[in-house]
Amino acid sequence: MKSWPSPFIPAVPGNGLPVRVHDTASGDLCLLTPGPTARMYVCGITPYDATHMGHAATYVTFDLLGRALRDAGHEVLYVQNVTDVDEPLLARAHRDGVEWQALAAAEIALFREDMTALGVIAPDHYIGAVEGVPSVVKAVTALLAGGTAYRVKVPEGEGAPGASDIYFDLSSAPDFGSVSSWDRDQMMAVFAERGGDPGRLGKRDQLDPLLWRAERAGEPSWPGGELGEGRPGWHIECTTIALDYLGMTFDVQGGGTDLIFPHHEMSAVQACGITGTSPFARAFVHQAMVGLDGEKMSKSRGNLVLVSTLRHCGVDPMAIRLAVLAHHYRTPWEWDGEVLLDAQERLATWRAGLSGNGGPPADAAIARIRECMADDLDAPGALAAVDEWVSQSLSKGGTEIGSPGVVGRTVDALLGIRL
């Protein structure tokens, strides 16, 4: 699938530091030691509504991680999916009386525009669930043959005669629980609201995830060989795309904290089942939820502040990005008018402070920005370092010719803020 144009990343003098991030699986900070190429998979959108500030926070956070890894001297191989066929997309298309393909195409196009405006580096492989169907068929067929997946008959009248859905057998998976470390009660409490079907009769365990859904009347389907006509379950989409484009034990699996369970738990355990090895990823990194009026911002609730609405109202996308950067990715935060006003004010101040030919020395500021970003993506700390340099520049000026240019390039390369 077509992604979007990546921004130019200016060179920063000197060398970046090795990067540490918080790994949900170990509950600890994890030093990333990827070798020449860091491999990162970030869960992409389900395109049934427009990019909101929660999505923006997630994709900007992983963009910052990619920039920190590049600064530390690594190449970054970045893969993102698009869940371009799934229940919520089909339901929204049905509700609005539009074709699901047209809805997905329109929302993906808007997402591309939003990511371009926010200066997010594009993934190297941007893969739709629909494109990934043949790979899912191969993987599920192998799991079935190996006895780690099983069939559950489709109730009479719902599908073709004799058709069955296919589930992953969690009892075959010793790694289950290793991503979230949640107990069963915690898992059961959210499973249904996050796309699971604990009440489905015939499942061996209520938590077993759906791998392949047999064709139902009025639903899209693809040939599944011996699986029969159908479509992929949600988690297996990310399992197979990550395995195909990154391979097992890649460096970072990313997304919002709402994906810790079941999505990242199930994607990982299925990958272990398919490959017979573990772990799926070395670090599982999660963006805290962005809220609005006391609730998680979400398409299903409809309490949204859209990136595109802000842009169409004339808000500078760099102010939107700065609003995200003002919050540490592991701290939940709420969108409100104040957050945006603060970001707009900071952007204007930075532009003023960086507009001269000379300024205070740049070295300490650059070192501090690098230190903050390598230390679990401390973007607020990096903003404070720039604030400090800008304040010196505005109050005292400075004689170091070229330093505003160098600080500006650092802000661009490491924080993705174009001034």
What is the contact surface with Zn ion in residues (CB under 5 A)?
43, 238
Sheet order of strands, 290-292 included: 295-296, 290-292, 333-334
Q: For the CB of residue 61, give the shortest distance to ligand 5CA in the complex, in Å.
A: 9
- Tell me which of 3, 46, 148, 180 binds ligand 5CA, using CB under 6 A: 46
Nearer to ligand 5CA, 54 or 404 (CB): 54
Directed axis angle between helix 234-245 and helix 133-145, to 10°? 100
Segment interacting with ligand 5CA (CB under 6 A) among 130-138, 292-300, 318-326, 400-408: 292-300
Please report where in the chains the tokens 């539009």 appear, as a residue.
98
Q: Which of 33, 248, 299, 270 is nearest to 142 (CA)?
A: 270
- Is 24 a binder of ligand 5CA (CB under 6 A)? no
Q: Where are the alpha helices (DSSP H) in 26-99?
A: 53-71, 87-96
Nearer to Zn ion, 239 or 403 (CB): 239
Nearer to Zn ion, 120 or 238 (CB): 238
Q: For the CB of residue 188, give the shortest distance to Zn ion in the complex, in Å.
A: 21
Give the whole-angstrom CA distance, residue 132 versus residue 151: 21
Distances (CA, A) of 358 to 168, 400, 403: 62, 5, 6
Residue 303 CB neighbours (<10 A) = 16
**Max CA pair span of the chain:** 81
Task: Map residues 218-257 to x or -, x wherever contact with ligand 5CA holds by CB under 6 A.
Answer: --------------------x----------------xx-
Q: What's the DSSP call for residue 227?
A: G
Task: Map residues 69-98 to x or -, x wherever contact with ligand 5CA holds by CB under 6 A.
Answer: ------------x-x---------------
Q: For the CB of residue 151, give the shortest distance to ligand 5CA in the complex, in Å.
A: 25
- Tell me which of 30, 57, 374, 386 binds ligand 5CA, using CB under 6 A: 57
Contact status, residue 128 vs residue 84, Cβ threshold 8 Å = yes
Q: For the CB of residue 81, give the shortest distance to Zn ion in the complex, in Å.
A: 6
Interface with ligand 5CA (CB under 6 A): 43-46, 54-55, 57-58, 81, 83, 238, 255-256, 258-259, 287, 289-290, 296-298
